[in-house]
Amino acid sequence: MLLPSGIEDFKDIIEGNYYYIDKTGLIGDLLRDGANAILITRPRRFGKSLNFSMLKYFFSNEKDYSYLFKGLKIENDEVARKHQNKYPVIHITFKDAKFQDWNMEFEMLKKIISRTYTEKKYLLESDKVERWDKNFIEKIIEGKGEYVDYAESLQRLIRMLEDHHGEKVILLIDEYDVPIESGYVNGYYEKVVDFMRCMLTAALKGNSSLFKGLLTGVYRVAKEDIFSGLNNLVVYTILDDFYSHYFGFTEEEVKKMLSDFNMEDKYEEIKEWYDGYFFGSAKSIYNPWSVIEFVRRKVAQAYWINTSGNDLIRELILKSPSHVKQKIEKLLSGEGLTEMIESTCALRDLKYENGSINESAMWGLFLFGGYLTPKSKKIDSTFGQWVCELYPPNKEVLAFYRTTIINWLKGLGFEYGKIEQMLEYLFEKKGEAFEREFNEILLKVSEDDPEKDAQKALDQIENKKYETDLRGRGIRDIVKVGIAFKGKSCSCRMA
Full 3-state SS string of the chain = CECCCCCCCHHHHHHCCECCCCCCHHHHHHHHCCCCEEEEECCCCCCHHHHHHHHHHHHECCCCCHHHHCCCHHHHCHHHHCCCCCECEEEEECCCCCCCCHHHHHHHHHHHHHHHHHHCHHHHHCCCCCHHHHHHHHHHHCCCCCHHHHHCHHHHHHHHHHHHHCCCEEEEEECCCHHHHHHHHHCCHHHHHHHHHHHHHHHHCCCCCEEEEEEEECCCECCCCCCCCCCCEEEECCCCCCCCCCCCEEHHHHHHHHHHCCCHHHHHHHHHHHCCEEECCEEEEECHHHHHHHHHHCCCCCCHHHCCCCHHHHHHHHCCCHHHHHHHHHHHCCCCEEEEECCCECHHHHECCCCCECHHHHHHHHHHCCCCEEEEEEECCCCCCEEEEEECCCHHHHHHHHHHHHHHHHHCCCCHHHHHHHHHHHHCCCHHHHHHHHHHHCCCCCCCCCHHHHHHHHHHHHHHCCCHHHHHCCCCCCCCEEEEEECCEEEEEEC
pLDDT digits (tens, 9 = 90+) for 200-234: 999 999 899 999 999 999 988 766 578 777 788 99
Domains and CATH numbers, the chain: 10-236 (3.40.50), 249-306 (no CATH), 311-396 (no CATH), 418-494 (no CATH)
Query: Tell me, what's the pLDDT at 487?
Result: 59
Reading the chain (495 residues) residue by residue, the pLDDT tens digits are 799 999 999 999 999 999 999 999 999 999 999 999 999 999 999 999 999 999 999 999 999 999 999 999 999 999 999 999 999 999 999 999 999 999 999 999 999 999 999 999 999 999 999 999 999 999 999 999 999 999 999 999 999 999 999 999 999 999 999 999 999 889 999 999 999 999 999 999 989 999 999 999 998 876 657 877 778 899 999 999 999 999 999 999 999 999 999 999 999 999 999 999 999 989 899 999 999 999 999 999 999 987 766 778 877 887 788 788 888 878 887 789 999 998 776 677 787 767 778 888 889 989 999 999 999 999 988 888 899 999 999 999 998 888 777 776 666 556 656 666 777 776 677 777 777 777 666 547 435 667 777 788 788 888 877 777 667 656 677 888 887 766 556 788 887
Please tell me the predicted confidence (pLDDT) of residue 445.
Answer: 47
- Its pTM stands at 0.83
Please give the Cα distance from 263 to 250 (Å, whole number): 17
* CA 219 from centroid of its chain's CA atoms: 8
